Amino acid sequence: MGFLIFADYQILDLCGPFEAFYFAGQWLERLGKTTEPAYCPLIISGGSEPVRSMSGLAILPSQSFNDISDGIDTLIVAGGTGMEEASRDRELVDWVRSIAPRARRVASICSGAFILASAGLLHRRRATTHWMYSDLLAATYPSIEVDATKVFIRDGNIYTSGGITAGIDLALALVEEDMGTDVMLAVARTMVVFPRRPGGQSQFKTYNYSTDGIGRAEFRQLHIWIMAHPEADLSVPALAERMGMSPRNFSRVFREEMGQTPAQFAEKARADAARCKLEQTLLPVETIALECGFGDPERMRRSFQRLYEISPADYRARFRSTAIQ
């Protein structure tokens, strides 16, 4: 097993999964299932010098990828802010491409998906990455079916995970695949994490409501108005009348300017407004549903399940500010 790191990698992408595999070995020994190390992870980079993470912590690699010519059981590529430069490093990308056919499985954590994509390993595959980078991954590599809602995705022998701590979720899944459910559960309990994280990555996502990409001034103003009035009538006929356009023409121009339908944008705006109230107030869910334009709690619940894969009540339980308790 090898973890590939590069300058400005995210250290939790390395250390979180690394510890999960370590604890798996410890539990196998305790259960009397082996006397040999379950995993022998290497830390791999382009050289022998310490590699500094994006937070400043430096790790001394075990080996340079230039010295690895044989196959590898599992390759795990970390993410981090250095992923853009790393994905343009031809030597690194060529090595990933060459070693992949000789690996039992290849995985990325967080934005490490960009390196797999640059190596051509995600072509016509389903994949995920940190929700902050999902749109960029989809735009840069259109052949990839990007699903930012998932904590991790397996497509054949290629695994990709969401942001940062999602790498631990992926590591637990690999441990379960290799060692069985009992060992995976023991590791999860030891690390004090969910064995299977409830909900998807989308519950952490905040939508980018910047108007920078909107060309027409009147639609920039409409964008701002919708965000400020989620309780208003946001149907196509009502919005078209507000803009002095026919419903058909309005829907066409809205999609061109916003990149989504009016209904999709309105639902996200309302859900985001509801999330803020769930986090920052003690208002009943029924009141929040009315104030945010959903009309009734059931409609809001369905929207939350669709967008965030979690109910409003569960969202509040996880994300409510401790200052209001």
Structural domain count of the chain: 2
Indicate if 65 and 184 belong to the same structural domain: yes
Q: Which residue has the tokens 């401790």?
A: 322
Report the candidate in 220, 223, 198, 206 with the shortest Cα–Cα distance to residue 276. 206
Q: What CATH number corresponds to the domain at position 236?
A: 1.10.10.60
Residue 212 has pLDDT above 80, yes or no: no
Q: What is the pLDDT of residues 219-228, one digit of tens each?
A: 988 998 998 8
Residue 30 has pLDDT above 50, yes or no: yes
Indicate if 9 and 60 belong to the same structural domain: yes
Residues in the chain: 325
User: Is the CB of residue 31 less than 8 Å from the CB of residue 101?
Assistant: no
Indicate if 229 and 198 belong to the same structural domain: no
Amino acid 177: pLDDT: 93
* Cα–Cα distance, 193 to 184 (Å, whole number): 11
Indicate if 257 and 190 belong to the same structural domain: no
318 backbone dihedrals φ, ψ, rounded to 5°: -90, -35
Burial class of 198 by CB neighbour count within 10 A (0 to 12, 13 to 18, 19+): exposed
Report the candidate in 37, 137, 124, 147 with the shortest Cα–Cα distance to residue 83. 137
Classify residue 212: in a domain, yes or no. no
Amino acid 324: pLDDT: 45
Burial class of 155 by CB neighbour count within 10 A (0 to 12, 13 to 18, 19+): middle
The yes-or-no answer on residue 110 being catalytic is yes
- pLDDT-based confidence at 199, cuts 50/70/90? low
* Cα–Cα distance, 193 to 103 (Å, whole number): 28
Q: How far apart are the first and last CA of the chain?
A: 45
Q: What is the pLDDT of residues 283-308, one digit of tens each?
A: 999 999 999 999 999 999 999 999 88
Amino acid 248: pLDDT: 96
Catalytic-labelled residue, pool 40, 110, 276, 292: 110
Single out the residue in 149, 180, 203 at which a domain terminates. 203
Q: Which range marks the domain in which residue 249 is found? A: 217-324
Indicate if 197 and 271 belong to the same structural domain: no
Q: What is the pTM of this model?
A: 0.70
